[in-house]
Every structure is written in C-alpha cells, then in structure tokens.
Amino acid sequence: MADDLVRRRVVVQGRVQGVFFRDSLRERARAAGVAGWVCNRSDGAVEAVVEGREDDVGRVVAFAREGPPRAEVTGVEVSDEAPEGLSGFAVR
C-alpha cells in the first residue's frame, strides 16, 4: 500500500481566504480518503499537503484548482513530494 501513495503540495492563489476554501478542501479530502493538512499563508494564498492514492489525491487537487463557489482561483502550483504516511486531514 505504501508504494501506491503519492503526496502533493498545492499552493493556491487568488481570492482564497475568507471564502471557506480550507473547510471545503478538508471536506473533499475526507470524502476522498486522503490525509494531509491545509492552511492560510501570510501572503494570502492557501497551502495544502495531500497524501493518498493517485486518483484520490488527483480529485482533491482538481477541486483546489476551482475552489468553493465564492473563491476566485488565479493560480495553482503543484509539486510532488515523498509520502510520509500521514493520517487524518487537518485545517491548520
């Protein structure tokens, strides 16, 4: 199972704070069965680490590219990282 894990760090820019982006992403992550965390950054972006099976992580990253209804995503950076075996999904 560990060999099937992927980990992606996602940084989302635009109007993404104060629009329930973190809570919406957490709901999507939990529904997809992935682990990780999401937080607001001081530069106005939202940053998330998502770890799980490729397809499940891909669904959460796809949601991050759109965001919840009140968000206006203007840019998304996605980078691969080595999985750490995280469990649960937290809003930081």
Active site residues: 22, 40
| 3-state SS assignment for residue 14 | strand
Structure tokens at 87: 């469990």
Q: What share of the chain is helix, strand, coil (3-state, %, to 5)?
A: 30, 40, 30
